[in-house]
Structure 1
């Protein structure tokens, strides 16, 4: 951050930046940094992202989905692979496939703050088409490994677990 501000100050003083750009660039940087800090602070106060219990599975902020409402739990790799070059190959996407459409929440647990989307019906159709369910979890965002999650689900319920579990 200090290097960015030093370069920005140098370019401003030498006249290589317009005045409005010299003011706008650090302001945008400060806003982005503030959002990152807020997200980090909020995530520290939330100890769990995904909870698997004997009753069912729950993403933080959403209702519990009973195991009886699920037809399958599918593990699949990230794809396209080139889009996830920074992600370890051991991470997976978990799709909770419902028996009937509309019985699972439309959410992606992919960061510290699970999101509800404003256009959830369109995104739910897209996720269902691509992953088989609108309720997906990226294992890179939870503390447990994919193998641990799969073993826990097998221990808690008889819902089939399929796909590539490392």
Structure 2
């Protein structure tokens, strides 16, 4: 069985991997803020601007290093979630069969947002694993509880982070299973 990377279509498997585009945008925003802080540090208008510029530069360096760590982990981690004929597999966990899922819900990421999340809703009594993330000091158990409270499941995929649209993920679910797609 041939596997595919995110974005490719294949009857057998869809592997969802982290996309580096959001990190690049965030790094650019941090860099612009850091340049502004650097200007305050090099040409301070007063003592307060000098202190704020120094704090801003140190903050920029810390955030950029953290983004580099996340990007390196994303690049080497491979796929995070795999959809295939057997079910949904979260890296590091057993495959969850399609029959253990009640629905796949496409919902807004937050109030007023046009961005949609893809949420895999389990049947009552089924415990789903948390999707791994590359954030330093991230705790899977706490994240699973938080996402379950917030989204109804620990498997909530943001299409921007995996580089595949919500509609493509929904189409793969329909192709691979009989799990209903709920567009909320």
TM-score by length of 2: 0.65
The correspondence for 1:52, drawn from 83, 90, 94, is: 83
Query: How many equivalent residue pairs?
Result: 150
> 1:10 and 1:137, CA in 2 relative to 1: closer, same or farther beyond 3 A?
same
Alpha-carbon shift at residue 80 of structure 1 (Å): 0.8
C-alpha distance 31-104 of structure 1, shift in aligned 2 (>3 A): same
Structure 1 or 2, whichever has the larger Rg, is 1
Name structure 2 gaps, 5 residues minimum: 1-33
Distance 1:113 1:98 in 2: 25
| Residues in 2 aligned to 1:32 and 1:113: alpha-carbon distance in whole angstroms | 12
Which residue is 2:121 aligned to? 97
**Superposition misfits of 4+ residues, deviation over 6 angstroms:** none
Q: In 2, distance between residues paired with 1:2 and 1:120?
A: 34
When the two chains are superposed, the root-mean-square deviation of aligned CA atoms in Å is: 3.0
Are 1:126 and 2:146 counterparts?
A: no
- State the distance in 1 between where 2:121 and 2:129 align: 11
Determine whether 1:141 maps to 2:161.
yes
Give the Cα separation in 1 of the matches to 2:68 and 2:39.
22
Indicate the SS of the match to 1:119: helix
CA contact (8 A) 2:38 2:54 kept: no
In 1: Cα distance, 2:143 partner to 2:39 partner = 43
| Shift of residue 53, structure 1, vs aligned partner | 1.0
> Contact between 1:112 and 1:141, CA under 8 Å: does it hold in 2?
no
What secondary structure is seen at the aligned counterpart in 2 of 1:75? Answer: strand
With normalisation by structure 1, the TM-score equals 0.71
Shift of 1:70: 0.8
> For the Cα contact (< 8 Å) 1:95–1:135, is it kept in 2?
yes
Which among 86, 91, 94 is matched to residue 63 of structure 1?
A: 94
Distance in 2 (alpha carbons) for counterparts of 1:45 and 1:28:
26
**CA drift at 1:94:** 1.3
Provide the C-alpha distance between the structure 2 equivalents of 1:79 and 1:121, rounded to a whole number of angstroms: 18
In the alignment, structure 1 segments of 5+ residues that lack a partner are none
DSSP 3-state at the match of 1:27? helix
